[in-house]
Amino acid sequence: MWQRLLTLIRKEMQALLRTPQSRRLLIAPVLLQLLLFPFAATLEVKNSTLAVFNQDGGAASIELVQRLAATQAFPHVLMLHSQQDMQQVIDRQQALLAISLPQDFSRRLASGQGVTAQAIIDGRRSNSAQIAYGYALQVVQQFAAERSRQAAPARLLVQNLYNPNLEYRWFVLPSLVAIITTIGCLMVTALSLAREREEGTFEQLLVSPLTPAYIMAGKALPGMLVALVQGCIIAAAAVWVYQVPFSGTVGLLIVSMLCYGLSLVGFGLLISALSSNQQQAFLGSFAFMSPAVILSGYMAPVENMPLPLRMVSAVDPLTHFIVIVKGIFLKGYGLAEAWPHLWPLLAIAAGTLLLAYRMFLQRSH
Amino acid sequence: MSTADSDIAIRLRALGHAFAGRPALHALDADIRRGIITGLVGPDGAGKTTLLRLMAGLLKPDSGSLQVEGLDPVTAGDALRTQLGYMPQKFGLYEDLTVLENLTLYADLRGVTGAVREESFQRLLAFTDLARFTERLAGKLSGGMKQKLGLACTLLGSPRILLLDEPCVGVDPISRRELWRMVSSLADGGMAVLWSTSYLDEAELCGEVLLMHEGRLQYSGSPQALMDSMQGRSLLLQGIAGNRRQVLRRALRCPQVIDGALQGHAVRLVLRTAGELPDLASLDAGPDASLQAVKPRLEDAFIDLLGGGPGGDSPLAEHMPPARLPGGVDADAVIVAEQLTRRFGDFVATDHVNFRIRRGEIFGLLGPNGAGKSTTFKMMCGLLPVSSGAARVMGLDLKKSASQARQQIGYMAQKFALYSNLSVAQNLEFFSGIYGLSGVRQREAVADMVRVFALQPFLAMNAGELPLGFKQRLALACALMHQHRCCFWTNRRRGWTRSAAANSGAISTAWWTRASR
């Protein structure tokens, strides 16, 4: 029977790789997203504009403005001359953050009195504006601490473990390994089975001596293989092109990719068992994809979600795989550290495959 | 033909067409008249569809001239569109829309609106007897009703010329007759109808036929005249003792016989020359055998035009070893259905069906749509669980050992189930592989099939791009590859299985031959 399985897998690979179009379809999205994601999907605040309404003009105020302008976050500083200007730059989204220094800023500072500066944030861009505000606050606090006569009673010393300079790409690329392979793997499993239904070859397979389990395995392995190859391309690009450190072992990465592939195949086969043509399978794949990415913790931390969604997130294979890949890349995960997230992947795979198998038996009659 | 010019709706003169250098039509000359059904007759791949598409202005002829209503269909396409109704083989019905929605859509597309629309809907729905089903989804209609709806959509806007491309494929006999009646009433009303078909009995009913083969016009004129020319050359050999297929094989080896076929318990033969009979003794058909002249059929004439049918021996029969039954299997009951019943909820699809199929027997399941043919079939192949009763293939119960039983079955679906985006060679390798052939045996089996079915020139081509006849051959090759002992065919479209030069004919005959051993 191994030979029959091999025949099934070879047929699947031939169908995938036979024409230049189908080969391109497997590789082009990977390359495209590899080029786009690390640059476009960034939460860092760089290259934004800071607006300053400096009513004072004293030495201290100028120094503070210069310090703010020197940070990476604000290469552009817009000098304003009236309160209305401040309103306008925020309204027109010309600046993310506007700071107003009062007339007596330098004087009060020199005399050792406390002073208040005003910061106006564009609430429509809440996330990046808050990050920008954080940068500004840091600069102002530093500036204040230097001028204060006595040392501050307590200070927080921050150290960023695993990603010391908080490089956003270090976070994005390992997650990308997970997200892109999801698309490839689902397409191969869910769509190809639906297509066999449309073309009538599915019935031909059912009257052959192959049992439904073999037919499923014949679809599952090529799907895992596609996930593995695509995953390896992205991982290699992350390491050699984007210089993301790789602190774990390649072996563990491959094992986890296979486990992840298996759980995806489970969902793919489940979708294909539920759909009767390619259009339905396609929509089904997307109905799975979007929530899977959103709930995975790639966009927002899972801890912030309400309990029911956290429960859904626990059966989302992407959640676990993202933790594993990030761990392998950045934290030097070994099998012991990865295991708490590997076994859920295997459990998800077992559950979905069993369910798909039952649906498959029902649907094939 | 001495008919008035105004009588002629379509005129072809030296019309030729080629696809990528491969000629599909060779210099055709013909006139198609109003008021009759003209049959465009020929086996698959004869060029029927190409000709219809040229007439509809969907293709541009490479040479010669073509005039529809005195106009060139390519340059005067807009003017012709209202006068010409073309129903392609697979009419573009939207399966997710109801009958009425489909009609409305095509009425909109043809600009049939207002009172005219109301009037033509009523007329067409009454004409096609679809008035009761206006709210049903087109996808849920039977094959015959789909064709009727397609015809109704084609007739919107009252065309003067009707081009029908194989309207009766996949349609049960009752609906076929109804469709025929509808179209002949249209022709009686003065419409010019060109009806393409590969069914020769259908062609016999036409007012005139254009017989085509491999892109050439073999005959044009009345079918009766052609059949009359065969007078005295069609014979029936009756009272045969022994194996009829063996008798047929011997008869086909006689020089006096150009074609033959089984017909019930008799063998039907076509002679090269009227009056020159084959030697009865050499046929070894038994003492009571006798030859009687019968009414010639169009098929006989067509075979004669092509210079004779396939011989009695065929490459497939030579290649396929006789099916041997393992010990313990009753040769009189290779396939058995016992009280075979299948219920879907309250609905009983097959009700206590019993039959036994002997070794060497071709067993036909006949019936209109919905008679339970497919259900029985699916149960016999193990595709559908049996509600009660038993289905056995070579003694193996489909309920208990479906996988082993399936190893014994070759299955050819109605729709040729091939991987259209894989090459011919890859399809052959795949289907031999899943039946457990490997290594040298697999290579030999593939090479044999390529030789027997003459697939060599197509090996690297995608299965989906094959001509229809070769698709059929490839599907058959894939189904026969592992030399199983039973062969199941679903809804095989009848027609040119025995056509002369088309090799698939020789192969089908050969398959019957093999089954007889």
Between B382, B421, B438, which is nearest A15 by CB?
A: B421
Checking if the pLDDT of B370 tops 80, the result is no
Is B433 close to A207, i.e. CB distance below 8 A?
no
Residue B59 has pLDDT above 70, yes or no: yes
Q: Measured between CB atoms, which of B406, B436, B438 is closest to A207?
A: B406
Contact B385 A19 (CB under 8 A): no
Distances (CA, A) of B265 to A327, B262, B268, B307: 79, 7, 10, 27
Confidence at residue B516, expressed as pLDDT on a 0 to 100 scale: 31
- For B406, name the nearest residue in chain A, comparing CA atoms only: A209
- Say how many domains are in chain A: 2
Distance from CA of B233 to the nearest CA of A (A): 43
Asked if residue A338 and residue A311 are part of one domain, the reply reads: yes
B27 and B91 fall within a common domain? yes
Per-residue model confidence (pLDDT) at position B397: 84
Q: Which helix (H) or strand (E) holds B300?
A: helix B298-305
Residues B153, B284: one domain? no
Whether B247 contacts B240, CB under 8 Å: yes
Pairing relationship of beta strands A118-121 and A97-101 according to DSSP bridges: antiparallel
Give the one of B381, B422, B433 whose C-beta lies nearest to A3's C-beta: B433
The minimum CA-CA distance between A209 and chain B, rounded to whole Å, is: 5
Contact A207 B381 (CB under 8 A): yes
- Looking at chain A, which residue has its C-alpha nearest residue B422? A15
The reported pLDDT for the residue numbered B396 is 82
For residue B1, pLDDT over 60 is answered with no
Which residue of B lies nearest to A214 if distances are taken between CA atoms? B434
Distance of alpha carbon B119 from alpha carbon A305, whole angstroms: 62
Indicate the residue of B384, B403, B426 with minimum beta-carbon distance to A211.
B403
- How far apart are the C-alpha atoms of B72 and A269, rounded to whole Å? 53
Instruction: Examine residue B425 and state whether it is found in any structural domain, yes or no.
Output: yes
pLDDT for the residue B493: 40
Confidence check: pLDDT of A155 > 80: no
The answer to ipTM > 0.85 is: no
Per-residue confidence (pLDDT) for residue B4, from 0 to 100: 60
Residue of B nearest to A6 (CA): B433
State how far the Cα of A89 lies from the Cα of A80, in Å rounded to an integer.
9
Question: Which residues in chain B are closer than 8 Å to A197, comparing Cβ atoms?
Answer: none
- Of residues B383 and A254, which shows the higher confidence score? A254
Q: Mutation target for B interface from A4, A197, A204: give the one with most B CBs within 10 A.
A: A204
As given in the structure block, the two tokens for residue B202 are 């259908």
Q: Which residues of A touch B (CB under 8 A)?
A: 3-4, 6-8, 10-11, 14-15, 18-19, 22, 199-201, 203-211, 364-365
At a CB cut-off of 8 Å and minimum separation 6, what does B51 contact? B15, B25, B28, B40, B212
HSE, side-chain direction, 13 A CA sphere, residue B40: 29
**B207 is in which domain, residue-wise?**
5-221
Higher pLDDT, A117 or A254: A254
Per-residue pLDDT, B20: 78
What is the rounded CA–CA span in Å between residue B259 and residue B194? 29
Q: Are residues B149 and B210 in the same domain?
A: yes
Looking at the fold, whether B175 and B152 belong to one and the same domain comes out as yes
- List chain A residues with CB under 8 Å of B407: 209
Long-range contact set of residues A24-33: C-beta below 8 Å, sequence gap at least 24: A26/A184, A26/A226, A26/A230, A27/A233, A29/A180, A29/A183, A29/A184, A30/A180, A30/A184, A30/A230, A30/A233, A30/A234, A33/A176, A33/A179, A33/A180
pLDDT at A351 over 90: yes
The pair of three-digit structure tokens given for residue B377, joined into one six-digit string: 């079939």
Q: Are the Cβ atoms of B409 and A10 closer than 8 angstroms?
A: no
Q: Are residues A325 and A188 in the same domain?
A: yes
Do B400 and B415 belong to one domain? no
**A112 lies in the same domain as A177:** no
pLDDT tens profile B278-305: 877 777 777 788 888 888 888 888 888 8
Number of other CB atoms surrounding residue B301 within 10 Å: 25
CB contacts < 8 A (A, B) = 79
Q: Which residues of A touch B486 (CB under 8 A)?
A: none
Out of A43-47, B239-243, B403-407, B510-514, least confident range: B510-514
- In the predicted model, is pLDDT for residue A67 greater than 70? yes
CB B417 to CB A209 under 8 A? Answer: no
CB contacts of B436 in chain A (<8 Å) are: 3-4, 209
Domain hosting A96: range is 49-147
Indicate whether A254 pLDDT > 90.
yes
Regarding whether A173 and A111 lie in a shared domain, the answer is: no
Tens-digit pLDDT profile for residues A277-286: 888 999 999 9
Q: How many Å lie between the alpha carbon of B164 and the closest alpha carbon of chain A?
A: 25
How high is the pLDDT of residue A149? 67
| Min Cα separation A267/chain B (Å) | 24
Are residues B215 and B239 located together in one domain of the fold?
no
Name the strand (E) or helix (H) holding A27: helix A20-40
Cα–Cα distance between B351 and B347 in angstroms, integer?
A: 10
Q: Is the pLDDT of residue B321 over 70?
A: no
The tens digit of pLDDT for each residue in A113-132 reads 778 888 888 888 777 778 88
Using a CB-CB distance cutoff of 8 angstroms, which residues of chain B are in contact with residue A15?
419, 421-422
Tell me how far apart the alpha carbons of residues A79 and A56 are, in angstroms, rounded to a whole number: 12
Mean pLDDT across chain B: 80
| pLDDT for the residue numbered B490 | 55
Query: How much is the pLDDT for B325?
Result: 66
Predicted confidence at residue B309, as pLDDT, reads 59
pLDDT of residue A42: 67
Q: Do B434 and A209 touch (CB under 8 A)?
A: yes
Show the tokens assigned to B216.
Answer: 């050439």
Asked whether the beta carbons of residue B436 and residue A203 sit closer than 8 angstroms, the reply is: no
The three-class DSSP label of residue A261 is helix
- Output the domain CATH number for residue B396: 3.40.50.300
Given A94, A120, A147, the domain boundary residue is A147
In a domain, B320, yes or no: no
Q: For residue A261, what pLDDT is reported?
A: 93
Q: Which residues of A touch B431 (CB under 8 A)?
A: 208
Residue A326 sits in the same domain as residue A251: yes
**Structure confidence at residue A228 (pLDDT):** 92
Q: What is the pLDDT of residue B455?
A: 84
Lowest-pLDDT range of A19-28, B168-177, B180-189: B168-177
Residues of chain B with C-beta less than 8 angstroms from the C-beta of A365: 383-385
User: In percent, how much of chain B has pLDDT > 70?
Assistant: 86
Contact by Cβ (8 Å): B481, B448:
no
Shared domain check, A257 and A196: yes
pLDDT band at B323, cuts 50/70/90? low
Length of chain B counted residue by residue: 517
Residue that finishes a domain, picked among B385, B405, B425:
B405
Residue at a domain's end among A89, A119, A147: A147
Residues of chain A found within 8 Å of residue B404, distances taken between Cβ atoms:
209
Amino acid at position A237, single letter: A
Residue B503 pLDDT level (bands cut at 50, 70, 90): very low
For residues A142 and A202, membership in a common domain is answered with no
User: Could you say which of A119, A147, A175 is where a domain stops?
Assistant: A147
Residue A29 falls inside a structural domain: no
User: How confident is the model over B12-54, as pLDDT tens digits?
Assistant: 999 999 887 778 888 899 999 999 999 998 877 788 888 999 9
- B316 assigned to some structural domain: no
Q: Out of B411, B423, B438, whose CB is closest to A204?
A: B411
Is A214 a domain residue? Answer: yes
What per-residue confidence (pLDDT) applies to B495? 33
Q: Tokens representing B240? A: 């045969």
How far, in Å, CA of A97 to CA of A132, rounded? 7
Give me the numbers of helices (H) and strands (E) for chain A, helices first please.
Answer: 15, 4
Q: Band of the pLDDT at B310, cuts 50, 70, 90?
A: low
Cα distances (Å, whole numbers) of residue B34 to B3, B11, B82, B187, B226: 11, 12, 17, 7, 21
Both B290 and B194 in one domain: the answer is: no
Per-residue pLDDT at A325: 93
Residues A191 and A122 in one domain: no
Q: How many domains does chain B have?
A: 4
Specify the pLDDT at position A250. Answer: 92
Contact across the interface for A15 and B419, Cβ inside 8 Å: yes
pLDDT at B174 over 90: no
Same domain, A183 and A143: no
What per-residue confidence (pLDDT) applies to A236?
A: 93
In a domain, B317, yes or no: no
User: Taking CB atoms and an 8 Å limit, are B417 and A7 in contact across chains?
Assistant: no
What is residue B369's predicted lDDT score, i.e. its pLDDT? Answer: 65
The whole-angstrom separation of Cα B202 and Cα B223 is 11
The reply to whether B50 and B182 lie within a common domain is yes
- Closest Cβ–Cβ partner in A4, A204, A207 for B433: A4
| A25 domain-assigned | no
In a mutational test of the A interface, the residue from B420, B430, B471 whose CB has the highest number of chain A CBs within 10 Å is B430
With cut-offs at 50, 70 and 90, classify the pLDDT of residue B508: very low
B149 or A298, which is more confident? B149
Residue A61 lies in a domain: yes
Among the partner residues A203, A208, A209, nearest to B413 by beta-carbon distance: A203
CB-CB under 8 Å, B434 with A8: yes
Instruction: Answer whether residue A162 shows pLDDT above 80.
Output: no
Tell me which of B82-86, B167-171, B292-296 is least confident.
B167-171
With respect to residue A308, please indicate whether it lies within any of the assigned structural domains: yes
Report CB contact under 8 Å: B421, A207. Answer: no
**Cβ atoms of residues A334 and A256 within 8 Å:** no
User: What does residue B158 show for φ and ψ, rounded to 5 degrees?
Assistant: 45, 70
- Least CA distance to B342: which residue of chain A? A365
Query: Looking at the structure, do residues B245 and B265 belong to the same domain, yes or no?
Result: yes
pLDDT-derived band of residue B505, with 50, 70 and 90 as boundaries?
Answer: very low
**Residues B221-279: tens digit of each pLDDT:** 898 888 888 888 888 888 887 777 778 878 887 888 888 887 777 888 888 887 778 87
